[in-house]
Structure 1
Amino acid sequence: MLIHYKCPNCGDDMAFDSESGALSCSSCGRQDNIEQFSDDYIKNVFTEEDAKEYHCENCGAVVITDNDTTATSCSFCGAGVVLGDRLTGKLAPGKVIPFTISKDQARAAFKKWCKNGRLTPKGFMTADRIKNITGMYVPFWIYDLNSKVKYEGAGKKVRTYTRGDYIYTETKHYDVYRDIDLYHVRVPVDASEKMNDEIMDKLEPYHYNDLKTFKTPYLAGYLAEKYNYDDNELFPRVKSKISSFVDSYVRSTITGYSSVTKKHEQINTNNLNSTYVLFPVWMVYYDYDRQEHTFAMNGQTGKIVGKPPISPKKVATWFGGIAASSFIIIKLLAFIVSGVIW
């Protein structure tokens, strides 16, 4: 089933507008509240295939997608369409954070970001080689977790004091126990095998006050993918993601000792709840020096992640400046101490 939104007023295509948060027609200006749209758009059950063929109701052209795509555009007429049969049952997202940054705003923000690169080549900083900017919804699972931690360690308190002509060192040994109950709320993990996990992690945080109950019109005009990994498959990764927080929290409860040695620690983490959500991401493709550089922008906050090219000349100048500054400081210190300049 190919869901295509037509304007009831003029018959032109409608798409989600990030500024108004409504389903909007660019021709006549009509705007419809997405919350009033019925879930009846989602009817069929999707069966796994390597590719699937749909017919665009706007121009009649054939739309072919891979089996991960849930929203796309017709390559002939450009109409934004949603593949409703890939959003049913367990493939239906529970929540979505809509785009709040438009394509024009994303382009302007990226150009500004490029100009701030102190060590990037001058040609890159002009940001005039943007090849394409694509808005897409990336599948995530957000978890509510409970970690029960049992910790056993050995603590020392060392005190040194002087009495008469003697210096004494007093060492006291303690058994350290902790029994901690931790709750983690809405920990996100991306569920697409196509997206780089490190980049998706760095796009955080998302502000969950903008979470909306999923409606297919939010996807109109954007690309979107279904998840490749379910919440059970990603559970080991979310446990790994919170492990550093658990360790730091346990350490924060053990104070007042000169040193602590861990003897045993047991962490049992359970999944209390997991929700399938879609988060907005702008993918920016930039041509520079005969190479394509890919950057990602949080479609809600505008945070940009990616590795820009580095200018060897600027790096050399920067390090040279540090070395020169250090040399001057050393000479000034020498003059202050000895009154002699080298």
Structure 2
Amino acid sequence: MVIQYKCPNCGSDMTFDADSGTLSCDNCGRQDNIENFSEDFIATVFEEEEAKEYQCENCGAVIVTDGDTTATNCSFCGAAVVLADRVSGILAPSLVLPFTISKQQAEQAFRKWCKRGLLTPKDFKMADRIKEITGMYVPFWLYDLKNEAKVHAIGTRVRNYTRGDYIYTETKYYDVYRDLRIDFSRVPVDASEKMDDALMDKLEPYQYSDLKDFKTPYLAGYIAEKYNYDAEDLLPRVKDKMRKPLDDYIRSTISGYHSVNYKDKNIRTAKTKSLYTLLPVWMVYYDYEQAEHIFAMNGQTGKVVGKPPLSKAKIAGWFASIAGGSFILMKIISFIVTGGINF
């Protein structure tokens, strides 16, 4: 089933507006609250099965999608459509975090980010080769995790003291035990096989206080994907993702020792809840030196991640400045020690 939201004023297609948080009509400017939008102005086309082809209600063109797409735009008339059968039943998200950054704001933020690169080429920093900026709702699982940690470690305290003509070192050893309960809430893991996991992880943090119960109007005007991996599939990955925060927390509870050697560390992690959630991402495609560079932007905070090209000349100059600074520093030290300086 294809869903399109029609303007009650002029009949044009409406899309979700990140600035106002409403369904907005680009034609006449009308804005409607999502919670109160009348079903009389929702156009639907039903399909017999989950096909990869849908028909646009506006122009009759065939909308071709892959099996993972849940929201898109008609390539012929530009109408925003939501493929409702792909966001219903077991595929229905529980929550959605709406875009708060518009496409124009995303472009401005990306250009500003490009200019901050100290080692990027000058012509890249001009940010004048943006090929495309696409708003996408990426499927994530948000996990609540319960962790029980039982730790046995050996801590040492070292004391040096002088007695007569001798210097003594005294080392004391202590058994350290910890029995901890550590809970994490709303740990995100992306569930799309198309997305780069490392790139998606770097987009964090999101402000989850702005999460909304899922409603299809939030998707209007954006591309959206359905999950490829369920919550059980990704449980090993979320456990691995939280390993370092767990270790850091355990380490923070053991203080006052000169060294700590862990003898046994047993951590049991269990999922208490997982919620299928759509998070907002602007994908930025940038052409530079006959290659396409892909960047991602948090659609709520504006944080940009990705690997920009580097200038070999700037890198060489940076290393040269470090080497030159080190040389001058050594000469200053030599001057202080010997009372003279020679170049």
Unpaired runs of at least 5, structure 1: none
Task: Give 3-state SS (helix, strand or coil) of 2:64's partner.
Answer: strand
Cα distance 1:37–1:8, how it changes in 2: closer, same or farther (>3 A)? Answer: closer
1:276 aligns with 2:272: no
- Structure 2 Cα separation of the partners of residues 156 and 211 of structure 1: 47
Residue equivalent to 1:189: 189
**What TM-score, normalized to structure 2?**
0.94
Unpaired runs of at least 5, structure 2: none
Bigger Cα displacement from structure 2, 26-35 vs 188-197: 26-35
The alpha carbon displacement at 1:119 in A equals 1.1
The alpha carbon displacement at 1:171 in A equals 2.8
The alpha carbon displacement at 1:47 in A equals 9.8
- Structure 1 Cα separation of the partners of residues 301 and 294 of structure 2: 18
Residue equivalent to 1:98: 98
Bigger Cα displacement from structure 2, 147-156 vs 222-231: 147-156
Cα distance 1:38–1:272, how it changes in 2: closer, same or farther (>3 A)? Answer: farther
**Structure 2 counterpart of 1:208, one-letter code:** Y
CA contact (8 A) 1:45 1:89 kept: no
Task: Give 3-state SS (helix, strand or coil) of 2:242's partner.
Answer: helix
**Structure 1 counterpart of 2:158, one-letter code:** V
**Structure 1 counterpart of 2:26, one-letter code:** S
Cα distance 1:146–1:130, how it changes in 2: closer, same or farther (>3 A)? Answer: same
Deviations 1:8-31 (A, max 9, x none): 110111000010000000111111
Residue equivalent to 2:163: 163
- Structure 1 Cα separation of the partners of residues 209 and 58 of structure 2: 35
Deviations 1:231-259 (A, max 9, x none): 11111111111111111111111122232
**Structure 1 counterpart of 2:312, one-letter code:** P
1:61 aligns with 2:65: no
The alpha carbon displacement at 1:37 in A equals 4.2
- Structure 2 Cα separation of the partners of residues 47 and 91 of structure 1: 17
Q: CA RMSD in A?
A: 2.2
Superposed, 1:78-157 pairs within 5 Å as: 78-157=78-157
CA contact (8 A) 2:297 2:304 kept: yes
Cα distance 1:38–1:171, how it changes in 2: closer, same or farther (>3 A)? Answer: farther
Cα distance 1:169–1:324, how it changes in 2: closer, same or farther (>3 A)? Answer: closer
CA contact (8 A) 1:44 1:85 kept: no
- Structure 1 Cα separation of the partners of residues 118 and 208 of structure 2: 33
Cα distance 1:277–1:45, how it changes in 2: closer, same or farther (>3 A)? Answer: farther
CA contact (8 A) 2:45 2:57 kept: no
Residue equivalent to 2:237: 237
Residue equivalent to 1:331: 331
Percent pairwise identity: 66
CA contact (8 A) 1:44 1:88 kept: no
Residue equivalent to 2:224: 224
- Structure 2 Cα separation of the partners of residues 47 and 184 of structure 1: 42
**Structure 2 counterpart of 1:79, one-letter code:** A
Residue equivalent to 2:52: 52
1:204 aligns with 2:208: no
- Structure 2 Cα separation of the partners of residues 137 and 45 of structure 1: 23
Deviations 1:205-239 (A, max 9, x none): 00111111111000000000001111111111111
**Structure 1 counterpart of 2:94, one-letter code:** G
Task: Give 3-state SS (helix, strand or coil) of 1:66's partner.
Answer: coil
- Structure 2 Cα separation of the partners of residues 252 and 177 of structure 1: 13
Residue equivalent to 2:4: 4
The alpha carbon displacement at 1:95 in A equals 0.8
Task: Give 3-state SS (helix, strand or coil) of 1:170's partner.
Answer: strand
**What TM-score, normalized to structure 1?**
0.95
- Structure 2 Cα separation of the partners of residues 339 and 18 of structure 1: 67
**Structure 1 counterpart of 2:223, one-letter code:** L
Task: Give 3-state SS (helix, strand or coil) of 1:8's partner.
Answer: coil
